[in-house]
């Protein structure tokens, strides 16, 4: 850790760079954790990796040693000269300056199958996950370093579900890989982090009439926290609590339950009943 952090400090000083907190610039300076992130991506020489936010290229270099090709998207133009220096002219790394949320991930990788690996800037965690999982061609595997508390929310089970957990688990199977203490970053953020892996489902995990209808129901259910479903669905779907009782009965879900306790299959049953109603 010491050496890597010193090298990082030296590179930043030489380029007269001041870290931008607003862009989530906490760089991972611990080789043990960097190697763990790379291992979680299970890379082979034919893999194409899309990295979000290469920073000064520490993770990028390791990814390029194991993958066939790495495309790295960095928003901060001030980091490009640093990346040019640290990555040299590695033939299998391409750096693109831009905002990942404004770019179609598949077009960056020529529509070939790809994996995403990122030590994410925390301010875009939910938006970036949504952007990737709902892309026309989503990544087959996503390995992210995010806030530990958010990672725990994503892998939760009933009765600890949230809109975020349902949204991620609908598209992918999440797995918590390892915790990363705040001290492994330079500068250290306020909270601990965790590595999380999302593996895209080969076939949808539940049968829904349409994604839009499924998420309309789920969003309505979570719309009023800690309310019974008969009330949250009644007002969220604009059908009132009597019709909401009938909908839940048709789906076989007790109307006094709360959104946090439902499985994906129960949400899908409600969406199917809503379409048939
Ligand atoms: N990959 C490096 C590492 O592991 O040390 C840096 C990770 S740092 C937590 C996040 C990086 O994402 C920063 O370099 C930041 O400038 C960049 N970034 C922030 N917002 C971005 C966005 N919308 N699109 C692409 N990169 C972004």
> Which residues in the chain are classed under CATH 1.10.8.100?
211-276
Residue 13 has pLDDT above 90, yes or no: no
Name the percent of the chain lying above pLDDT 90.
87
pLDDT at 14: 87
pLDDT at 1: 47
Question: What is this structure's pTM?
Answer: 0.95
Residue 127 has pLDDT above 80, yes or no: yes
Please compute the mean of the pLDDT values over residues 21-41 and round it to a whole number: 95
Two tokens, residue 150? 């958010």
Question: From CA 90, how far away is CA 103, in angstroms rounded?
Answer: 23
What is the pLDDT of the chain when averaged over all its residues? 95
Spatial CA neighbour of 119 closest among 45, 30, 200: 30
Give me the CATH topology for the region 2-200: Rossmann fold (3.40.50)
Please compute the mean of the pLDDT values over residues 259-274 and round it to a whole number: 98
Rg (CA), the chain: 21
Tens digits of residue pLDDT in 168-204? 999 999 999 999 999 999 999 999 999 999 999 988 8
CA 105 to chain centre: 13
pLDDT band with cut points at 50, 70 and 90 for residue 273: very high
The neighbour count for residue 61, using CB atoms within 10 Å, is 17
Place of tokens 């938006």: 127
| β-strand partners of 178 | 195
> Which residues in the chain are classed under CATH 3.40.50.150?
2-200
Tens digits of residue pLDDT in 63-96? 999 999 999 999 999 999 999 999 988 999 999 9
Give the CATH number of domain 211-276; options: 3.40.50.300, 2.30.38.10, 1.10.8.100, 1.20.210.10: 1.10.8.100
- Choosing from 1, 55, 116, 192 the residue with most ligand 1 atoms within 8 A of its CB, the one to mutate for a pocket test is 55
CA of 51 to the centre of ligand 1 (A): 9
Please compute the mean of the pLDDT values over residues 128-146 and round it to a whole number: 97
Contact residues of ligand 1, CB 6 A cut-off: 23-28, 52-55, 58-59, 73-76, 79, 99-101, 119, 121, 124
pLDDT band with cut points at 50, 70 and 90 for residue 2: low
Tens digits of residue pLDDT in 90-105? 999 999 999 999 999 9
Question: From CA 130, how far away is CA 132, in angstroms rounded?
Answer: 5
Which residue, judged by its Cα, is nearest atom 11 of ligand 1?
53
């Amino acid at each position: 850790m010491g050496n890597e952090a010193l090298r990082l400090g030296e590179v930043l000083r030489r380029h007269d760079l001041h870290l931008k907190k607003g862009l989530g610039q906490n760089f991972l300076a611990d080789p043990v954790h960097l190697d763990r992130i790379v291992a979680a991506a299970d890379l082979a020489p034919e893999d194409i990796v899309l990295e979000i936010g290469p920073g000064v290229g520490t993770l990028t270099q390791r990814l390029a040693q194991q993958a066939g090709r790495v495309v790295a998207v960095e928003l901060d133009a001030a980091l490009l000269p640093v990346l040019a220096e640290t990555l040299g002219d590695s033939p299998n790394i391409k750096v693109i300056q831009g905002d990942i949320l404004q770019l179609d991930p598949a077009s960056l990788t020529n529509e070939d199958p790809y994996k995403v690996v990122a030590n994410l800037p925390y301010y875009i965690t939910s938006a970036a996950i949504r952007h990737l999982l709902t892309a026309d061609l989503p990544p087959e595997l996503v390995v992210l370093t995010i806030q530990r508390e958010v990672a725990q929310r994503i892998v939760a089970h009933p009765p600890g579900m949230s809109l975020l957990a349902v949204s991620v688990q609908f598209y992918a199977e999440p797995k918590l890989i390892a915790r990363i203490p705040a001290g492994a970053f330079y500068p250290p953020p306020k909270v601990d982090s965790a590595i999380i892996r999302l593996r895209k489902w080969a076939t949808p995990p539940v049968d829904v009439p349409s994604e839009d209808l499924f998420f309309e129901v789920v969003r309505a259910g979570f719309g009023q926290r800690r309310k019974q479903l008969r009330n949250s669905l009644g007002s969220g779907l604009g059908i009132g609590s009597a019709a909401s009782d009938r909908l839940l009965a048709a789906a076989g879900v007790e109307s006094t339950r709360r959104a946090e306790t439902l499985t994906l299959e129960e949400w899908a049953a409600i969406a199917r009943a809503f379409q048939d109603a």
